[in-house]
Amino acid sequence: MQAIALPQAANAPAADAHHEELRGLWAELEAALSLLLEAPLQVQNFEARLRQLADWLQELVAHDSDAALYLVFQLAAESSAGYSASHALVSATLCEVLAPALGLPAHERQALVCAAFTMNIGMTQLQDQLALQREPPNAAQRAQIERHALESQALLVRLFVDDPLWLDTVAAHHPRARAKAPLAQLGAAERLARILASVDRYGAMLSPRKSRGARSATDSVRVIVGSEPTPEDEVGYALVRSVGLCPPGTLVRLDNGDTAVVLRRSSRPLQPLVARVLDGTGQPFKTPALHDTARGAPRIVAALARLDLARRIPPQTMALLGVYVGRSRPASAQEPGEAPAV
């Protein structure tokens, strides 16, 4: 296994610059999204500004989708923004990553990402409250949850959003019955709503709340698609093939007892590149070590929920791994764009 060299003090600023730039761009994107979701009626040109964020997200994912997943999952775990904005950013990022695998044309991709950003805009404050609430939703809260898809659509209409595909996807993203027809046989809005419903559930299960801990990435996928995703379940199959059972930024246990952080996906869903961070007794390694699980033992035996282990992993270790992910981006990756003025 290959040890990751810690940056020396003399060149640490240069070594960290790319990672810090990417992390800063993702943090700015989340902050800009939070401002739009928290007080949408006070935002001028809401639709144009939201589309700017969708274009910005597309640039960040195109730059390096592994780094995008790593950073968005880290940001979601550490974010100072409300749960609603954090969940919307995770969901929109997953939709952007999934869109090519599902063969979505550009206008459907943007409508899907905009819908992911705004699917819960009709209950932003309630969603933030529920994330901090230990008891189950009360009757009034359940009623608002039941109405939120249509209320979100109505609020978007008040904000002069006039894209019917975006609006209809938001309205239908909690279908009462799952359509069994192939995606290609569905209307565009029904197709996007089915994709968004699966992504919404997956992202929500990854995120901790006061009333429950987060599930692992693998458990979240299996709740949605079952233990063996098949090509017939197009969204679940694409989720596994594109994002992986253990996406970058998530924690896994190896068969030698070590705990590792996933850094990059491979062509096989359960064989990513990882970095070992805790030994079998739960003690942090002085220096994390790279291991390509596709090349042999130790293998991944379980995905882990972040909450129970995050406190044991030194923050500088996660920062170092973020630097590595940024440095090791594919040579063909595009440079990320600057933050739009929102």
Residue 135: pLDDT above 90? no
pLDDT in tens, 62-92: 988 888 888 887 776 665 567 889 889 999 9
Instruction: State the average pLDDT over residues 123-144.
Output: 88
At which residue do the structure tokens 């952007």 appear? 96
H-run or E-run covering 107: helix 106-118
At residue 12 the predicted structure's pLDDT band, cuts being 50, 70 and 90, is very low
Q: What is the dihedral of CA 92, 94, 96, 97, to 10 degrees?
A: 170
Structure confidence at residue 19 (pLDDT): 64
Please give the model's pTM, rounded to 2 decimal places.
0.83
Q: Specify the long-range contacts of residues 171-174, CB closer than 8 Å, at least 24 apart.
A: 173/115, 173/119, 173/149, 173/197, 173/200, 174/149
Q: Let me know: does 100 contact 154? Beta carbons within 8 Å.
A: no
What is the distance between the terminal CA atoms of the chain, rounded to a whole angstrom?
A: 45
Structure confidence at residue 210 (pLDDT): 45
Q: Let me know: does 149 contact 174? Beta carbons within 8 Å.
A: yes
Q: Let me know: does 171 contact 150? Beta carbons within 8 Å.
A: yes
Note the CATH number of domain 9-244.
1.10.3210.10
* Residue of 163 and 302 predicted with greater confidence: 163
* Residue of 229 and 57 predicted with greater confidence: 57
Residue 331: pLDDT above 50? no
Residue 183: pLDDT above 50? yes
Peptide bond between residue 298 and the one before it cis (omega within 30 degrees of 0): yes
pLDDT in tens, 186-229: 999 999 999 999 898 887 766 555 444 545 555 555 555 555 55
Instruction: State the average pLDDT over residues 135-161.
Output: 94
Q: What is the mean pLDDT of the chain?
A: 80
* Residue of 162 and 330 predicted with greater confidence: 162
Query: Domain extents for the chain?
Result: 9-244
Structure confidence at residue 6 (pLDDT): 45
